[in-house]
Amino acid sequence: MNNDIRLQADPEFSYSINVQIKEQLKWLIGIGAIRPGELLPPAGQLADALQVNRNTVNLVYAQLREEGLVSGKKGRGTQVLAGPAVETLIRKRQAMRELLSRTMQEAEESGISPDELALAGLAFARLFGKPAAADGKRKLLFVECRGHDHPFYREQVEKEAQAEVSVLFLEEIAGRANVLAEAAGRADAVVTTLNHADEVRGLLEGVNVPLLTIGAAASPPVLLEIARMEAGSRIAFVCLGRQGGQWMADRVAEAGLTHIASDVAGTDNREALRKIVRQADRVYASSAAYDELRSLAPDKAALYPLVLERSSEKLLRDLSLEP
């Protein structure tokens, strides 16, 4: 972090100290003053500089981690990430910077202080902000492949963004980029998953529409359940397609659970599915595939619940609040 940059913390201001520090750090990341790969100051050092409790800074760093903006590991410091959450922050803050700089200059010329403008502006947005559509809902286009648990993602996007969501599958776009361009032109934003972010970004080249990337994780209880299994247990992971099952198996491996043997399959290939079900001690299925698996192997079937990453939840919630 640039030593010439000085954060401020005012205990008399209407916003809490941790909000003040967090939002200033997000501005510095958003305008490139702190770049991906760079470290934030140690919590104790920043706390001393701002004359605040170290726990306040620790809370700020934890919140930034939850938003997907930084990573923090003991002994390595808190590092700004190069990922979708930071990309979205940069896009938004760069657009805001010019607008707010101009507004603050005009306010100063009118004798209005920045603090007064900030508080009055928030109240104004709550009173007079207009929804993007007559029904109060934004129109989003969700792009995903048929192999992953797309019903889960769609439900989460609708819930968190409070939006009207239409779905376009990558299999339908193959060789026809114009199909995506046309559908995106009717939406306020396009949403896709980390699995396909680069592919969708390439297909949207030249299309003037925001692209939001979201991610999911395995629910902690299911990971704990797998962790308790005997070494060498044969586990199968099943989704709508084999690639979805592989994603599930990868999340288990990333959690360090390598004591099991795993197979993957999709409900779109019944022959392969029956084979791995016969061989497995336990079969975990995503919510979209669970009913079919339970009818096939009720004594082995278990649900593999997904949870949206917190940074993705915030990304979608922020979208629902935009005027």
pLDDT digits (tens, 9 = 90+) for 212-258: 999 999 999 999 999 999 999 999 999 999 999 999 999 999 999 99
Asked, for residue 146, whether it belongs to a domain, the answer is yes
* pLDDT of 13 strictly over 60: no
How far apart, in whole angstroms, are the C-alpha atoms of residue 305 and residue 296? 19
Residue 167's pLDDT is 93
* pLDDT of 148 strictly over 80: yes
The CATH number for 116's domain is 1.10.10.10
Asked, for residue 247, whether it belongs to a domain, the answer is yes
How do residues 166-225 score in pLDDT, each as one tens digit?
999 999 887 776 788 888 888 989 999 988 988 888 888 878 888 999 999 999 999 999
How far apart, in whole angstroms, are the C-alpha atoms of residue 250 and residue 183? 32
How do residues 20-47 score in pLDDT, each as one tens digit?
898 899 999 999 999 999 999 999 999 9
Do residues 148 and 238 share a domain?
Answer: no
Tell me the percentage of the chain whose pLDDT exceeds 70: 90
Do residues 154 and 195 share a domain?
Answer: yes
Say which DSSP state 195 is in. Answer: G
Q: Which residue has the higher pLDDT, 207 or 292?
A: 292
**Final residue belonging to a domain, choices 76, 96, 129:** 129
Domain span holding position 234: 220-304
pLDDT grade for 321, boundaries at 50, 70 and 90: low
Asked, for residue 68, whether it belongs to a domain, the answer is yes
The CATH number for 289's domain is 3.40.50
Do residues 102 and 230 share a domain?
Answer: no
Asked, for residue 134, whether it belongs to a domain, the answer is no
Asked, for residue 266, whether it belongs to a domain, the answer is yes
Mean pLDDT, rounded, for 124-145: 70
Residue 279's pLDDT is 94
Contact status, residue 6 vs residue 46, Cβ threshold 8 Å: no
How far apart, in whole angstroms, are the C-alpha atoms of residue 243 and residue 241? 5
Asked, for residue 34, whether it belongs to a domain, the answer is yes
165: left (phi over 0), alpha (psi -120 to 50) or beta: beta
Do residues 178 and 315 share a domain?
Answer: yes
Q: Hey, what are 208's tokens?
A: 């003037």
Residue 298's pLDDT is 93
pLDDT grade for 132, boundaries at 50, 70 and 90: very low
How many separate domains does the chain show?
A: 3
Asked, for residue 95, whether it belongs to a domain, the answer is yes
Global pTM reads 0.59
**Final residue belonging to a domain, choices 109, 129, 149:** 129
pLDDT grade for 131, boundaries at 50, 70 and 90: very low
The CATH number for 172's domain is 3.40.50.1980
Q: Which residues contact 315 (CB under 8 A, 6 or more apart)?
A: 85, 88, 212, 214
Q: Which of these, 302, 267, 298, lies nearest to 284 by C-alpha position? A: 302
Residue 186's pLDDT is 86
* pLDDT of 14 strictly over 60: no
**Final residue belonging to a domain, choices 129, 147, 165:** 129
Do residues 7 and 37 share a domain?
Answer: yes
Asked, for residue 148, whether it belongs to a domain, the answer is yes
Q: How far is CA 322 from CA 87, 161, 318, in A?
A: 18, 10, 6
Residue 239's pLDDT is 96
Do residues 196 and 154 share a domain?
Answer: yes
How far apart, in whole angstroms, are the C-alpha atoms of residue 277 and residue 234? 10
Do residues 76 and 1 share a domain?
Answer: yes
Q: Which residues contact 245 (CB under 8 A, 6 or more apart)?
A: 236, 237, 238, 239, 264, 265, 266
Do residues 231 and 178 share a domain?
Answer: no
Do residues 62 and 95 share a domain?
Answer: yes
Residue 268's pLDDT is 93
Do residues 8 and 85 share a domain?
Answer: yes
Do residues 202 and 257 share a domain?
Answer: no
How do residues 59-106 score in pLDDT, each as one tens digit?
888 888 878 899 877 777 899 998 888 888 898 888 888 888 888 888
Do residues 300 and 169 share a domain?
Answer: no
DSSP string, 60-126: HHHHHHHTTSEEEETTTEEEE--SHHHHHHHHHHHHHHHHHHHHHHHHHHTT--HHHHHHHHHHHHH
* pLDDT of 278 strictly over 90: yes
Residue with tokens 């239409």: 166
